[in-house]
Amino acid sequence: MKVQLVSNLLDANSAIAHDLRQGFSRRGIFVLNLMSAPGAGKTTILERTVELLRERLRIAVIEGDICTTIDAERIARQGVPAVQINTEGACHLDAHMIARALETLPLDLLDLLIIENVGNLVCPAEFDLGEDLKAMVISVTEGNDKPAKYPLMFHEARAILANKIDLLPYTNFDLAVLRRDLDELNPEAPLFPVSARTGEGLEAWADWLAAAVKNKQSTTAAD
């Protein structure tokens, strides 16, 4: 049956993700799974995040896309290790893909691993990658209906970035409505209004992420 097949697939993925999470914890690596719809601007946000944190943290990036190495090449220009995963049609990354990509990364020399998932508002939220947290990017050009249409994505994220706020005057997007909807779906998730183009709001996001990394490292050291 289709339902049983999906269940088996998720169970197998969860087992690999569990092993990945244990390996990351032993090394003190914080892992972020960055998700969004196509075109929301998450690669540019990722570039900006790396730029803000690369002097404070040792960072590597895994880029997920259906095809091409364009995004990994962009990130590599920031001076950090970057690995491209091409899913060849799959709409999400899974734990097995991440395990294979890790073979080419200097894991013992990392503080932060950022995984940029395939642009999709459905599947990525369902597949555990061994990450510490998921973050969700929504652009103001997408409209206010996305949390209602794709609640799992917004429920699973531990941080929400509202990108392209420099375009707010040219849209009917309402940040207050987004915060209201998040309060119903995910009230504990902080909301970061940002512009990847101008850099507005990104320092607050980067500081929050750096604090999360340091908190994990302190906890790991104490254990």
Say which CATH number the domain at 100 has. 3.40.50.300
Gap between the Cα atoms of 170 and 58, Å rounded: 38
Cα dihedral 105→124→129→182 (10° resolution): 110
**Residue 121, helix vs strand vs coil:** coil
**Conformational region of residue 14, where left means phi above 0, alpha means psi within -120 to 50, and beta covers everything else:** alpha
pLDDT number for residue 4: 54
What is Dmax (Cα atoms) for the chain?
Answer: 51
Count of the separate structural domains present in the chain: 1
Pairing relationship of beta strands 159-163 and 191-193 according to DSSP bridges: parallel
Strands 133-139 and 59-65: unpaired
State the pLDDT at residue 108. 96
What pLDDT is recorded for position 220?
78
**Secondary structure of residue 116 in the 3-state scheme:** strand
Evaluate whether 197 touches 44 at the Cβ level (below 8 Å).
yes
pLDDT at 3: 46
What does the pLDDT read at residue 1? 45
For residue 115, give the nearest of 184, 34, 178, 52 by alpha carbon. 34
- Cα gap 116→94, rounded to integer Å: 12
For helices 202-222 and 42-53, give the axis angle rounded to 10 degrees.
60
Q: What is the pLDDT of residue 7?
A: 64
- Asked if residue 44 lies in contact with residue 147, where contact means CB atoms within 8 angstroms, the answer is no
User: What domain range includes position 213?
Assistant: 2-222
At 189 the three-state DSSP class reads coil
Tokens linked to 30:
């914080």
Listed as ranges, residues in the chain with pLDDT below 50 are 1-3, 5
- 3-state DSSP assignment of residue 40: coil
Q: How far is CA 187 from CA 24, 144, 146, 157, 169, in A?
A: 28, 17, 16, 11, 26
